[in-house]
Amino acid sequence: MKTEACLFAGVAVFFLLTDAVYMWLSREPAGSAALTVCFLMASVIAFFCAVNHRRKGGRPEDRRDGRIHERAGALDFFPPHSGYPPLTALGAALLLLGIVYGLWLFIMGAAVTAAGILGMVFQFVDVDD
């Protein structure tokens, strides 16, 4: 994560310098705002990577003598099958159609989308790690 933090810090410095030159030369607010947002987003990612490196230490892939088996093991729990993603997609479609056709369809779509999202979140809540 240290390498990634340095890379994104470099990107943030680039956007900061570009923003300063752009503001000085053009005095146009839209471009300056866009470059400022780019600087802030790159800074957030650099900060996240730096904090992760400090908190968790170096990874095996960061070292020259790192081995593949050091990173081996269970990654996470992946559900085998679920009916909730299609339900959520149907709810999102109804929600967006409700914007066009009326509030009644929008409310139905919001309810179906909420049911799908809650189902995905709580479907495997009892599964032990």
Longest CA pairwise span in the chain (Å): 62
Mean pLDDT of the chain: 88
Which residue, chain included where needed, has tokens 């990577």?
A: 49
Helices (H), the chain: 2-26, 29-56, 84-101, 103-122
51-83 confidence digits (pLDDT tens): 988 888 777 777 788 787 777 777 777 777 888
Q: What pLDDT does 124 receive?
A: 80
User: Quick one: pLDDT at residue 47?
Assistant: 95
- Say how far apart CA 120 and CA 61 lie, in whole Å: 33
Confidence band for 29, pLDDT divided at 50, 70 and 90: confident
